[in-house]
């Protein structure tokens, strides 16, 4: 039986991060969830850290633990799934920053880890994770009183530049966050390529680091080949 062989070129992955980083004036983090999209998150993150990446995003606290063990102290590691039940010790012991997605998570975090860094994930229209505008409006002052380190959201249709959802989500995110004087993040790979209105203070490229092509006509990618 024939089998596929994946050739992982970390230099190509680093080049993709550097090219994306050069496109904006904001900080460029790196998404290494799902074990670095299956390529070994520790190897990927170490290579990116060597060229300047200082913040990484994972899906769950357990992924963050493995990454912290690989990277050591210093780099920021944020958890998209937020503060799930049972996560408090992991978040504290391994210096992980949860992106809180709901009122329940917010209460859990403030009670279990007062003073521990956190971000807030807002739902600007993707309807996957995060607080919707009405929910955020109800708890915003409480959250701000605890000093979040990041406000973020995620674009649903950034791989389609002309899609009306992009502009709608940008407006919604601005409506939810303008004037708060906190670091903000809206753009992953596709959002970085939509234009300078989308990056804000921190970008979170994921698929583009690994050779994915959300907008192939506007950017040249280095591939990690499969044969």
Greatest Cα-to-Cα distance within the chain, rounded to the nearest angstrom: 60
Domains in the chain, CATH or no CATH each = 10-218 (3.20.20.10)
Q: Which of 140, 90, 136 is nearest to 116 (CA)?
A: 90
Check residue 226 and give its pLDDT.
39
**Contact by Cβ (8 Å): 49, 13:** no
The pTM (predicted TM-score) of the whole model is: 0.92
d(CA 95, CA 118): 10
The two tokens of residue 76 are 């920021």
Say whether 79 sits in a helix, a strand or coil.
strand
pLDDT at 227: 36
Q: Rounded to whole angstroms, how far apart are CA atoms 177 and 165?
A: 18
pLDDT at 5: 76
Q: What is the pLDDT of residue 128?
A: 81
Predicted pLDDT of residue 143: 96
Q: Kindly state the helix (H) or strand (E) to which residue 99 belongs, with its residue range.
A: strand 97-100
Mean pLDDT per block of 10 residues along the chain (227 residues) reads 78 94 95 95 97 98 98 97 98 98 96 98 92 95 96 95 95 97 96 93 95 62 49
**Residue 217 confidence (pLDDT):** 55
Phi first, then psi: give them for residue 151, nearest 5 degrees.
Answer: -115, 125
SS3 state at 216:
helix
Q: Which residues pair with 99 in a beta bridge?
A: 119
Buried-state track 204-214, b at ≥16 Cβ within 10 A, e below 16: bbbbbbbbbeb
d(CA 159, CA 7): 26
């Amino acid at each position: 039986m024939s089998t596929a062989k994946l050739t992982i070129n970390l230099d190509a992955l680093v080049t993709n991060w550097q090219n994306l980083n050069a496109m904006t004036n904001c900080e460029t983090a790196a998404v290494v969830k799902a074990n670095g999209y299956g390529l070994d998150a520790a190897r990927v993150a170490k290579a990116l850290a060597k060229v300047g990446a200082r913040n990484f995003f994972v899906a769950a606290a357990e992924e963050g633990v493995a990454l912290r063990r690989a990277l050591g102290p210093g780099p920021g590691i944020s958890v998209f799934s937020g503060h799930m039940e049972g996560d408090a010790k992991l978040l504290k012991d391994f210096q992980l920053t949860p992106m809180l997605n709901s009122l329940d998570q917010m209460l859990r975090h403030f009670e279990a880890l007062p003073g521990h860094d956190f971000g807030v994930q807002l739902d600007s229209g993707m309807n996957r994770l995060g607080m919707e505008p009405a929910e955020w409006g109800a708890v915003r002052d409480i959250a701000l009183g605890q000093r979040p380190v990041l406000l973020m959201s995620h674009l649903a249709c950034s791989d389609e530049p002309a899609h009306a959802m992009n502009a709608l989500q940008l407006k919604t995110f601005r409506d939810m966050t303008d004037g708060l004087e906190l670091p903000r993040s809206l753009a992953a790979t596709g959002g970085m390529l939509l234009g300078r209105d989308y990056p804000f203070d921190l970008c979170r490229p994921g698929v583009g680091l690994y050779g994915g092509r959300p907008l192939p006509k506007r950017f040249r990618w280095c591939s990690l080949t499969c044969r």
